[in-house]
Amino acid sequence: MAKFIFITGGVVSSLGKGIASASIGALMESHGYRISMIKLDPYINVDPGTMSPFQHGEVYVTTDGAETDLDLGHYERFTNTKILRMNNATSGQIYYSVIQKEREGKYLGKTIQVVPHITDEIKQRITALTKKIDIVICEIGGTVGDIESLPFLEAIRQLYFEHNSDTVFVHLTLVPFIKAAGELKTKPTQHSVASLREIGIQPQILLCRTEKPLSPELKEKIALFCNVRRQAVIEAIDTPYIYEIPLIFHRQNLDKIILELIHLPSHPHPALGKWNNIVNILHNAQEKVCIGVVGKYIKLQDSYKSIYEALVHGGIANHCKVEFSRIDSEQIEKEGVENSLRNVDGVILPGGFGIRGVEGMISAIRYCRENKIPFFGICLGLQCAVIEFARNVCGLCNATSTEFSSDTTEPVICLLDEQKNITKMGGTMRLGAYPCIVEPGSIAYRAYKRKKISERHRHRWEFNMKYFNLMKQHGMKFVGLSPDRKLVEIIEIENHPFFVATQFHPEFQSKPFACHPLFAGFIKAAIHHRAKKQI
């Protein structure tokens, strides 16, 4: 029987439950255990695919085409577990499934209630992950005390009742520092644990998020008032590098405490060498580059979470520290491109939807193309690169996307026929992993070192193949195509040190100890560009 680790959060949102869960997953793997992970989100949306990035942050896409919470990205980056559609469930999905079963008569005339029908559906989603797995790590989204999370908390309470010795509750909470008093305060943590206990859940481990170290006396106080062992009060102190968190937890014996509580043996020398190596590079790298991230959702850090992490991975792969210049593309439209990009060593343009800020993106691409600045476009970044090239190199002044102008005379980016009659928004784009054939001799081929690749997509508009020959004649290189050669996946341009754009999202497959090759190549090009500027 698989063991269960349930992770809840209290006091405030955005404490880092996803990273804490992923770090625990990494520690369990370091002891040789096979893990699976699941995020349970209390919101009513079926998935985050229709949410604004300002509301929810980035949408993480799995290989099987699910639009999921960004925390699943942390799970894949920190662990070796394969994340699929079944590793994320929302209240919307749970209720939708129960209602469908009721309409089909599968409850045999019973009155459908939150308990047991909704909670049974939640439990089924969790236990479905137990095949060939030693430990299931389950993160409950939201904050204890929220109305919408109650069915999920009740479901894991029931699982504890059914699998007592195979289950552990870990609660992430806040110990705030009150500057005026000069003290850390434990009362929010006490109230949060009290709320959990009212529901019937007693956490055995507390992860205390704090900006100041917890004194032994403070830990004793938390342990006493929250009814946990003193050694199970774990300090989750702020750190500049999230990849240090597994080591911070390990130094406090969190992994051994968890394994003891679920009655599994711990390895005397867990395999944490790769984490030590990563942290050593992050702290001691001498090289430094500044990457301009030009986008329309810059105001919220989590909107491009996987992009930022993949750039950090590129730095790790090149033993280099990566700094970011976050540039709102609308700012470029107002202030001019030279002011915005003057001090960067490379520019990345991530995905997005809608016309807002697009002209600023196109200006940034032209500046990079003409000034030989390393450029990496992703999804919308490819589409804007195509538009810029069509306008300024091919002479198609009206070139644009039908997303931005439905009656354009030069639709270099357009909808595929199968997308034109779709009326529903959720889950209807080209989603998940698709194959791509890479042209030998290209920058992309030198990065991948293989001809056939598979990458994840999340988009609706595509390159219009009617313009293929014209743009090729003017120097655009179509170095990645779908196997049937009907879809453009990767473009480059001639006589440029690094100008690469992809229709897919390579950031979703990057890990700190296995950087995506395109990000490694991009950061390497930025290092060379910086060196040339300094000569």
Residues 271 and 291 in one domain: no
**First-last CA distance in the chain:** 63
State pTM to two decimals: 0.94
291 and 262, same structural domain?
Answer: no
- Among 277, 306, 331, where does a domain finish? 277
Percent helix, strand, coil in the chain, to 5, is: 45, 25, 35
Of 379, 384, 394, 515, the catalytic one is: 379
Comparing C-alpha atoms, which of 457, 400, 390, 409 is closest to residue 430? 457
Asked if residue 223 and residue 298 are part of one domain, the reply reads: no
Give the span between the Cα atoms of 24 and 81, in whole angstroms.
13
pLDDT digits (tens, 9 = 90+) for 352-407: 888 999 999 999 999 999 999 999 999 999 999 999 999 999 999 999 999 999 88
Same domain? For 410 and 485 the reply is yes
**Structural domain count, the chain:** 2
For residues 420 and 394, is the Cβ–Cβ distance under 8 A? no
Domain limit, last residue, from 230, 246, 277: 277
Longest Cα–Cα distance in the chain: 79
Nearest C-alpha neighbor of 493 from the set 518, 511, 513, 473: 473
CATH, residue 273: 3.40.50.300
- Determine which one of 171, 250, 459, 505 is catalytic: 505
Do 139 and 38 contact (CB within 8 A), yes or no? yes
Asked whether residue 123 falls in the same domain as residue 254, the answer is yes
Look at the block and give the residue holding tokens 């026929």: 417
Task: Specify the pLDDT at position 53.
Answer: 77
Q: Is there a single domain that holds both residue 440 and residue 495?
A: yes
Structure tokens at 83: 């994340």
Locus of tokens 């590079």: 281
Give me the pLDDT at residue 31, please. 97
Q: Helix (H, G, I), strand (E, B), or coil: what is residue 309?
A: helix
Q: Show which of 243, 277, 311 is a domain's final residue.
A: 277
Q: Is the peptide bond before 116 cis (omega within 30 degrees of 0)?
A: yes
505 catalytic per annotation: yes
Do 273 and 299 have their domain in common?
A: no
Secondary structure string (H, E, C) spanning 62-83: CCCCCEECCHHHHHHHHCCCCC
d(CA 293, CA 331): 12
Instruction: Give pLDDT < 70 ranges for the chain.
Output: 418-427
Q: Which pLDDT belongs to residue 175?
A: 95
Shared-domain flag, residues 268 and 313: no
Q: Which residue in 135, 134, 136, 110 sits closest to 123, CA to CA?
A: 136
pLDDT of residue 427: 63
- Structural domain range at position 231: 3-277
Catalytic residue among 507, 515, 516, 529: 507
Q: Are both 229 and 315 inside the same structural domain? A: no
| Domain at 495, CATH number | 3.40.50.880
Radius of gyration of the chain (CA): 25
The answer on 301 and 262 residing in a single domain is no
- Give the helix/strand (H/E) hosting 499: strand 499-502
Task: Give yes or no: residues 443 and 353 share one domain.
Answer: yes
Q: Is 138 a residue of the active site?
A: no
Cα 139 to Cα 87, 263, 513, distances in angstroms: 10, 21, 24
In single-letter form, the type of residue at position 61 comes to V
247 and 304 belong to one structural domain: no
> Which residue shows structure tokens 């997005």?
352
